[in-house]
A and B are shown apart, each in its own frame.
Chain A
Amino acid sequence: QVQLQESGPGLVKPSETLSLTCNVSGGSIRNYYWSWIRQSPGKGLEWIGYIYYIGTTNYNPSLKSRLTISVDTSKNQFSLKLNSVTAADTAVYYCVRQGIITGTRFEMDYWGQGTLVTVSS
């Protein structure tokens, strides 16, 4: 059974960088797409971006200028960095596997439990 676990600081100061890592266990990170999703009361569920295991990325244009997603296949994990954060970036952040193939799309089948990140001084 694939399991995903987010880790990182729960509190980040405004203008600083939010950094999270997702550890994947019970399966390989290879051959899949991996996404970050966030959820806040004000904006609902928001797709942040994805990375393919070889490092190809696709970011939400609304966050692209502040965002970096990377992968480390040797550690079976992938990471998120969002810089210049504001209170609007306060949310529960989920890491997600896109493991169900439908035609040319990859659907989100496994999610981490989520981690709350609060942006506040």
Chain B
Amino acid sequence: DTQMTQSPSSLSPSVGDRVTITCRASQSIGSYLNWFQQKPGKAPNLLIYAASTLRSGVPSRFSGAGSGTDFTLTISSLQPEDFATYYCQQSDRTPYTFGQGTKLEIK
């Protein structure tokens, strides 16, 4: 299986901060990397697919980059509604696998 490792596991930024989350795959996955946002009690919500394509309706402050094994999700100016847990997921090969999550907590 392809292992996905996110860092950091948690972060306590302030509103307006630039935030970057890293995801590393245990083997090359090309650009088949997706980012999800999950709020408590809700299902994950797709933000970015194919490493850098913003899903329709997702604010432009979210961006993704990377290919191969190293990827990043950046929030350019953190808003109150962005405090949530973020997961990366690889779709290069089955079994699909997810990172362990990065929780953004209010400072």
Contacts and interface: CB of A to CB of B under 8 A. Distances in A.
Interface residues of A, number: 22
Interface residues of B, number: 24
- Majority SS at the chain A contact face: strand
Which of A47, A60, A100, A107 lies at the interface centre, i.e. has the most chain B CB atoms within 10 A of its CB?
Answer: A107
A99 to B, nearest CB: 10
Given A111-B43, A113-B43, A60 B89 contact: no
B7 to A, nearest CB: 15
Nearest to B32: A105
Interface string A49-65: 00000000010111000
B95 A47 contact: yes
Interface string B15-55: 00000000000000001101010000011111001100101
B60 interface: no
B92 A112 contact: no
A85 B44 CA distance: 25
B14 interface: no
A105 B33 CA distance: 11
Contact of A102 (B50, B89, B94): B50
B96 A114 contact: no
B32 A111 contact: no
A103 to B, nearest CB: 8
Interface in A63-117: 94, 100, 102-103, 105-109, 111-114
A58 B42 CA distance: 26
B44 A58 contact: no
A26 interface: no
20 contacts: A45-B87, A45-B98, A46-B98, A47-B94, A47-B96, A58-B94, A60-B95, A62-B95, A94-B44, A102-B53, A103-B32, A103-B50, A105-B32, A107-B49, A107-B91, A111-B43, A111-B44, A111-B45, A112-B43, A113-B42
Given A113-B42, A113-B43, 11 more contacts: A44-B87, A45-B89, A46-B98, A47-B96, A60-B94, A61-B95, A100-B49, A100-B55, A102-B49, A105-B32, A105-B92
